[in-house]
Chain A
Amino acid sequence: MSLNQATRVAVLLSIGQHPVTARARRADQDARALELALQLNHADVIPLHVGQLNEHNEAALRSYLGMGISQIKLIGNSDILLGLEQGVRESQANIVLCGSRAETGEGSGLVPYLLAKKLGWPIVSGLVSIEKLDQGSATLLQALPRGQRRKLKVSLPAVLAVDPAAAVARQSAFGPAQRGAITPQKLSSIEAVSGAEVKHNSALHSFLWQFQPAKKRPKRLKIIKATSARDRFKAAAAKADASGGKVLQGVSADDAANEIIKLLLEESVLNLDGHL
């Protein structure tokens, strides 16, 4: 990729589902991925959707268009993975942006990984923002648990899966949503699905699989394992028992502070490089 050549970003868009009404909508994480792509300077954004267009999902797809893109490429392949691979290859993208998990179906979060494997590209999940695009590499910010962030450098081309902590997607405007085009894509290189490829396809064995509305998970009971009646009674009747912690009484404030700092350093929550 030469410097003046724009980065080409394929954004994978799926149909989401409202968690309460179960109505089709734009998928939250995919919309965040599109938002990230639209924020990039000098990048060509290529939105892709694999599937058929029907009255059930048109409104959802159009709400992506309402975010300010002129068209979505529709790939009418039955095998989602194969369709995505071909779509990404044909679009000559060097970055694929997608959500981490789909809101319908299995929602296993495996698709970005499978796609990366098929393309032979590295994958980074938990993306919150793209800091810089260089020649052949991208500097990213990745979300860690507990609101922490980490900086990564990944060689391009790469698949990037967006974290739910990424910036919220802009609202969808009605006018552009109606004007935008959903163009079915004729892919030159779509091959017949070979036997080896079918193995990936979950549809093959999903006849054994049953979907049900999510059950509430049972609350874990506190199991009291005591060998004698005395222990069982104590466990049932006792309130907060001393947990065997260290109690320091009558020490000077300085010694107390030292003890605290020692524990904080042991637990590595105290960063001494920070500002004074």
Chain B
Amino acid sequence: MSENMNNSTLRRDPRREWILRNRLHPQHSEIATEDSSSDVLHEWMGPQGIKRKAPHNIGFIGPNGIRRIDRSGTQQAGSASRKEIAQQPSRRSHQIQHPQQYILVVADMTGGRLSAQDKDILGLAHQLAAKKAETAVMLVVFGEHKEAAFAEAGVDRLLHIEGEAFDGFSPDLRLAWLTAIERELHPDYWLFPDSGLGGGDLGRRLAVELDVHAATGLWQVNLKEQPISCVCRAAASTQDLTRELPRVILALSECAEPISDSLHAVQEFNLVRQPLDQLPRIQDLGAVAVDPASVSLAEAEFILSGGNGIRDWDGFHQTAEILGATEGASRVAVDDGYMPRDRQVGATGTWVTARVYMAVGISGAIQHLQGIQSCDKVICINTDAGCDMVKRADLALIGDSTEILAAVRRKVSELKQEKRHVA
């Protein structure tokens, strides 16, 4: 009984194999179907933790009697092996059970998600962590977030600090938390994105607090050198400064490759001793309304872009105003004189970085798609479901632009009015 269950022991049946090889044998088709539907493993984990393969079991016999191997894994014969392929994690798991040291990363989390720069910095943190055994990378997140892929980005431990104060500018409180972390964990390194107001500000505050001469504008780390050295942009980016790597690092984007092939634990971490509340010396009075038309296209956060598929340009401008979006255009719209030249998005126009890009009646020519490479979310309204913009979009609506934009205007006005009545 137990022998039967142990199906990893191979039992050969020469007669059966001979029938399988001989397609003219009267029993061939019978045995062949039996064979392909049986749960034959072609890959399993050996007792020593080494992956074993049975190459003869891979693939299936094609109509010409020749063994075919489909690497896409879609046509594999045998349900068991297909299931196994689906379950196989494409990333290796990276676990640190008992960290001895920590490397702290304080992410910007623009829009509640890890930015590309944050991911690069997590990659850098792992390069530094690999120098010492049992070093965990901990991410500090202030306030609400919408990120779901911390594990893929390389977060071993997550310190999520919640509180309403973190919605706004609260450098004193954030600094108090960071110094509390410093006291408790004394991390090997502190990594910040050297960006305008997020990490750039907080990192400098922490560096001054810890009395460390931080590396700012760092873009390269030479891990092979002893002590580790780094290259930073200096003198308004006209010079490179090579120096030793300090404990507090403010790094530029693309300072390292982001994590791409491992899956991390994202274990929640809590501080034992939390900082006391204090009276803030800086008070946030909230965002100020800015005219979206005055924001430069390259900087804009939310762009409504129109192309050759716009019939009602007045409606388009009204929609942009109601949504509070900055206007963009495709080249055809500009060439036809509907939009000024400085609003052209694309290879020969502006490379935009909007978080949300709404393309209305734009087909998605390669020159246009190049310009929106770094956009996060793309919404597309088009009559043609097969165009390239629909393929690029996160949300594609197939329909007439004039109608849909009119509906958007109506709905948003309604919502605004409702909100005003409630207030």
A145 cross-chain contacts in B, Cβ below 8 A: 110, 195-197, 299
A147 touching B290 by the CB < 8 A rule? yes
Instruction: Using CB atoms, name the residue of chain A closest to B231.
Output: A215
B226 interface residue (CB < 8 Å to A): no
Interface residues of B, CB < 8 Å — how many? 100
B290 touching A122 by the CB < 8 A rule? no
B238 touching A276 by the CB < 8 A rule? no
For residue A98, give the distance in angstroms from its CB to the closest CB of chain B.
Answer: 13
B287 cross-chain contacts in A, Cβ below 8 A: 144, 148-151
B235 touching A104 by the CB < 8 A rule? yes
B152 interface residue (CB < 8 Å to A): no
B207 interface residue (CB < 8 Å to A): yes
A102 interface residue (CB < 8 Å to B): yes
B56 interface residue (CB < 8 Å to A): no
A153 cross-chain contacts in B, Cβ below 8 A: 282-283, 285
Instruction: Using CB atoms, name the residue of chain B closest to A114.
Output: B208
In the complex, A258 Cα to B356 Cα: how many Å?
16
For residue A101, give the distance in angstroms from its CB to the closest CB of chain B.
Answer: 7
B214 interface residue (CB < 8 Å to A): yes
For residue B417, give the distance in angstroms from its CB to the closest CB of chain A.
Answer: 7
Given A139-B285, A150-B284, residue A263 in contact with residue B395 (CB < 8 A): yes
A188 interface residue (CB < 8 Å to B): no
B236 touching A213 by the CB < 8 A rule? no
Interface positions, chain B 383-404, Cβ under 8 Å from A, are 385, 388, 390-400, 403-404
In the complex, A180 Cα to B323 Cα: how many Å?
51
A143 cross-chain contacts in B, Cβ below 8 A: 196-197
A152 cross-chain contacts in B, Cβ below 8 A: 169, 282-285
A248 interface residue (CB < 8 Å to B): yes
B67 interface residue (CB < 8 Å to A): no
In the complex, A16 Cα to B392 Cα: how many Å?
45
Binds A, one of B9-17, B184-192, B253-261: B253-261
For residue B143, give the distance in angstroms from its CB to the closest CB of chain A.
Answer: 13
In the complex, A200 Cα to B416 Cα: how many Å?
54
B369 interface neighbour in A240, A242, A253, Cβ under 8 Å: A240
B146 cross-chain contacts in A, Cβ below 8 A: 266
A107 touching B234 by the CB < 8 A rule? yes
Binds A, one of B20-28, B33-41, B153-161, B240-248: B240-248
In the complex, A117 Cα to B299 Cα: how many Å?
33
B394 interface neighbour in A212, A243, A251, A258, Cβ under 8 Å: A243
A264 interface residue (CB < 8 Å to B): yes
Interface positions, chain B 180-207, Cβ under 8 Å from A, are 195-197, 200-201, 204-205, 207
Proximity bits, A235-262, B CB within 8 Å = 1, else 0: 0000111110111111101101111110
For residue A161, give the distance in angstroms from its CB to the closest CB of chain B.
Answer: 9
In the complex, A126 Cα to B284 Cα: how many Å?
14
B239 cross-chain contacts in A, Cβ below 8 A: 211-214
For residue B358, give the distance in angstroms from its CB to the closest CB of chain A.
Answer: 7
The residue in B168, B236, B300, B369 that gathers the most chain A C-beta atoms within 10 A of its C-beta is B236
A189 interface residue (CB < 8 Å to B): no
B404 interface neighbour in A256, A264, A266, Cβ under 8 Å: A256
Dominant secondary structure at the B interface: mixed
In the complex, A152 Cα to B169 Cα: how many Å?
8
Given A151-B285, A151-B288, A254-B411, residue A108 in contact with residue B111 (CB < 8 A): no
A205 cross-chain contacts in B, Cβ below 8 A: 213
Proximity bits, B278-298, A CB within 8 Å = 1, else 0: 000111111111100011100
B208 touching A113 by the CB < 8 A rule? yes
Proximity bits, A47-89, B CB within 8 Å = 1, else 0: 0000000000000000000000000000000000000000000
A245 interface neighbour in B241, B299, B395, B404, Cβ under 8 Å: B395
B237 interface residue (CB < 8 Å to A): yes
B42 interface residue (CB < 8 Å to A): no
B234 touching A149 by the CB < 8 A rule? no
Given A19-B236, A210-B242, A247-B390, residue A122 in contact with residue B413 (CB < 8 A): no
A110 touching B235 by the CB < 8 A rule? no
Instruction: Using CB atoms, name the residue of chain B closest to A248.
Output: B397
A256 cross-chain contacts in B, Cβ below 8 A: 381, 397, 399, 404, 407
Given A220-B254, A272-B415, residue A213 in contact with residue B238 (CB < 8 A): yes
A142 interface residue (CB < 8 Å to B): yes
In the complex, A108 Cα to B200 Cα: how many Å?
10
In the complex, A15 Cα to B401 Cα: how many Å?
55
A210 cross-chain contacts in B, Cβ below 8 A: 241-243
B411 cross-chain contacts in A, Cβ below 8 A: 254, 257-258, 261
B415 touching A261 by the CB < 8 A rule? yes
A260 touching B408 by the CB < 8 A rule? yes
Instruction: Using CB atoms, name the residue of chain A closest to B168.
Output: A150
B235 cross-chain contacts in A, Cβ below 8 A: 17, 102-107, 211
User: Could you write out 22 A-B pairs with CB less than 8 Å apart?
Assistant: A17-B238, A104-B236, A106-B216, A107-B234, A108-B234, A110-B213, A125-B197, A145-B197, A147-B295, A150-B285, A151-B284, A151-B288, A200-B213, A215-B240, A240-B364, A245-B395, A256-B397, A258-B411, A264-B302, A270-B323, A273-B419, A274-B289
Using a CB–CB cutoff of 8 Å, the interface residues on chain B facing chain A are 71-72, 90, 110-112, 146, 168-169, 172, 195-197, 200-201, 204-205, 207-209, 211, 213-214, 216-217, 219, 232-244, 254, 257, 260-261, 281-290, 294-296, 299-302, 322-325, 355-356, 358, 364, 369, 376-379, 381, 385, 388, 390-400, 403-404, 406-408, 410-413, 415-417, 419
Given contacts A154-B283, A155-B282, A269-B324, 7 further A-B contacts (CB under 8 A): A106-B234, A109-B204, A145-B299, A211-B241, A225-B261, A246-B395, A274-B324
